[in-house]
Chains A and B, each alone.
Chain A
């Protein structure tokens, strides 16, 4: 039972320490189009 508990703790630790932490943050980019005066600006290239 103790080994199973340690295994679960290890798995949880590995999950929390995953360096791909982008999954925990959805605010990396903010749409500031209106704020900078580019709303409605047409562009193709």
Chain B
């Protein structure tokens, strides 16, 4: 998963696996920082800060370690910091040994550290067996809610459960509203879930990914706190066609994206246990046929061309949309593994102008390279904020992580949109729909958190490829608030990270933006024995009266010292601090205060 846990706009990495997926302490946090050996802010490294994050703290006193098998990240208490909801799942709930170590809500402090919320309402959710979480504000009240798809109650006896909707109370606690929302009328074994506004009515709908036994569900949000199953009338049925030898199809993700730029959300389904032969079901594009057809969904088995080598029995685990070359047409990466390791591989599908997709692995030189064989999950992310999405992916088998830097995307024009939510809207603008208009190009993307199996997640700041279009007419944002607020930003710049609030275009995010804005740069962060404060933009540190350090509990720390070697550099000795997150306050002689957060390693 990818999320900005320390509020610097650079996406951080959150990985699940530390040797035994069924053991404890499964999750690790890697923050994305500038390589201190380089003066170029594009040179990034990922630092493992897991020991000081608290994510593996067990809520049960004296219990060691915490088991996390899935997690979703968003600001659930609207304090400006990314929080997380964790979950466990098991193949057979009725045989699960419940020792009280369960899914939880953890509130972030903006440095990468998290604290578990007692009595959060999610603690009991393990008893629902969630395999995926998707954030949404289903009633548009400004507080994020979460939907959970659930796996089997009893695998051998084929006993299923319904999905669960937890309403966010805005303080890190949640209330189960599955029954009044109408979601308890249908049981199914889900391997994942996702949220998008499928019918353009402004209300977030829920799409489940079933594990083989049924066709899944498209839950239409009625706008009054309830949902209706519209699977049959819309044609949402993952068992539409059977796979090899007539077996059922298992869906891990139905990834929404308006890939054909026609103004409605389509889907790409990654199906485990699909087939390759004619007339067999397989991972495929599902076309949203739009308002004139009642937003009916059409399974199009011929949009995607799969070149050799390909497996005769799919193990398609994940799919991610992103525009490789920023030509304005979303491409996609699909991960395949486990079942036929010799031929299972990562696929890069390039969208052609006629909206078909070509397998370009051979052209990219990926065929025959074991790096791209037997893969499992992926997320696009612009990790260096250079204007194109890169790709991080995980391997099946070796479970190693790889990062591919996009070398060509920003050769085309682009814009990255960062939203500042208005009052009454959830802080991360989850559910916001962004339209970019550039001459003949109209692109539409959703801000989301949690897709598919184990809650895939990408950065909230979305990259839009513009191709050769050298200006933007407007960017329109449909905010997910109770007023259905719409903002139009006229003629924002291109090839920038543009900030848009309710009034329109505000500013660009420059490189090294978080420090430039305050005229003082703090590095390295995390710090070992010292950190450096550097005045920039002609800011003189001679005007500093005091530098104070506080822990995240607000207690002032006194055992540090600093010295100025010139008017622009101050070195602060933090060697005696314990590992953890801290806040430093730089107080000027005029009484001004600049606050910065840092981590002591």
Contact = CB atoms under 8 A, between A and B. Distances in A.
Interface in B452-471: 453-456
Contacts of B15: 41-45
B307 to A, nearest CB: 12
Interface string B361-372: 001110000010
Contact of B377 (A25, A37, A40, A45): A45
The contact size tier of chain A is 20 to 34
A19, A28, A33 — which one has the most chain B CB atoms within 10 A of its CB?
A28
B183 interface: no
Contact of B363 (A23, A35, A36, A44): A23
Secondary structure at chain A's binding surface: helix, strand, loop or mixed? Answer: loop
Contacts of A19: 353
A22 B350 contact: yes
A31 to B, nearest CB: 6
A35 B46 CA distance: 10
A38 B402 contact: yes
B16 A29 contact: no
A36 B391 CA distance: 13
B358 A33 contact: no
Contacts of B456: 45
Contacts of B401: 33, 38, 41-43
Interface residues of B, number: 48
A29 B17 contact: no
Given A20-B352, A44-B376, A45-B377, A36 B364 contact: no
Interface of B: 1, 13, 15-19, 21, 28, 30, 44-48, 70, 324-325, 350, 352-353, 358, 360, 363-365, 371, 376-377, 383, 390-392, 394, 399-408, 453-456
19 contacts: A20-B358, A22-B325, A25-B408, A28-B406, A29-B391, A31-B402, A32-B404, A32-B405, A33-B403, A35-B45, A36-B45, A38-B30, A42-B399, A43-B13, A43-B15, A43-B377, A44-B15, A45-B17, A45-B376
A26 B360 CA distance: 10
B403 A36 contact: yes
B404 A44 contact: no
Given A26-B363, A28-B325, A36-B44, A41 B408 contact: no
